[in-house]
Amino acid sequence: MRDQKEKIKDWIKIQYSSNINENYFSENEVILSGIKNFQFYNFLIWFIKNLFYSIYQLFHLRWYYILLLPENIKAAVVKYSNYGCNKINIFFWLNNIYKPLWTNKNLNNKSDTCLIYGGIFDEILVKGKTELEPDWIGTEICTWENHLVLTERHREFLIKKYPIKIKTEFIKKPFIINSKKINEELPKNYMAVFAYENRRHNVGIGTFAEYEYSNGRNYIHGKLIFDFYNDLLNICKKNNIKLVTKRKKKGNKSSIKLINNFFNRLSDDSNFIQLDAEDDVIDIIKKSLCCVSLPITSTGVLAQKYNIPSSFYDPYNWINRQDPSLSNVKVYNFTELDTWLKNLNKNE
């Protein structure tokens, strides 16, 4: 955890071109660090009143009052303080529009609260359609005003999607927490492969879930992750190169044992190399012949930034080639990817 905090500090120095002496890594730390001249008795009166009111509403089946009480308490702490807020508050996008209520309080325009994205988009444009699916995330009612974005296409997408006027700033360096030095010796020619795994039973909300299950299921998982890796390993064998990959996390929950066993079987093949989940993704990309990602993951864009040939592989020919989420990274089916890799091998 200490190492991760140091990496976040280094990222902040690069992004904002300055040293920030005080860094906080949790929402509670941020709130408590800014409290000055706390009006305790006013807060206590507010708390007692709202606690009983929330319980009263619960008896009338309005359960959301009690659910939002912790959020309201944080907002009240800020409200009843001469709040000396931090200059920059950065929140990580968690696939929903949640914005802490305390950030909406009057902070005397001293604070810049912004949202940073681990990926690029959370929707996929399906083949044959010209518009994205209905707004299942809820961006139409979102109040985030400041955004740190990866690409110009990402910026254009957010401006179009959000109903409010937003400000954007480009990320100067990829925000990557896990970047452990790779201990294993990498092969001379290899394809760097990256995907995402659904770690829970998904009932089909959103286009990512639809894509995952679009060709059937393997137990509770969609077949996508299995077909993606099997196809790419076959292509690598045909072209006499290795497949190198790392997973985002190595889980041990029963719901992903099937995927763990799948990767263990792939590792028995001499052409398949699985690195540790915390190994440096940038280092893996930089040393590769090419980078192939599952649509739509940010590694496809990261590889482009480092001038490494990059593409998305779509096993089902399901992705709309005009999807803005692709950010100008080509998407190929099996035959197209095989041809692309052959051409790269010839030029090597």
pLDDT score recorded for residue 274: 92
What are 310's strand-pairing partners? Answer: 291
Domain covering 190-347 assigned CATH 3.30.70.2190 in the classification: no
pTM for the model stands at: 0.79
Whether the bond between 296 and the residue before it is cis, its omega within 30 degrees of 0, is yes
Helices (H), 192-244: 207-212, 224-238
DSSP symbols for 289-333: SEEEE-TT-THHHHHHHTT--EEEE-TTS-B-TT-GGGTT-EEE-
Burial grade of 131 (CB within 10 A; 0-12, 13-18, 19 or more): exposed
pLDDT score recorded for residue 53: 94
Domain ranges of the chain: 2-170, 190-347
pLDDT score recorded for residue 291: 96
User: Of 26, 288, 284, 295, nearest to 176 (Cα)?
Assistant: 284
Beta pairing, strands 190-194 & 290-293 = parallel
Query: What token pair was written down for 252?
Result: 């041990």
Q: What residues in the chain have per-residue pLDDT under 70?
A: 1-2, 18-22, 83-87, 94-96, 105-112, 118-123, 125-137, 178, 198-206, 218-220, 249-256, 348
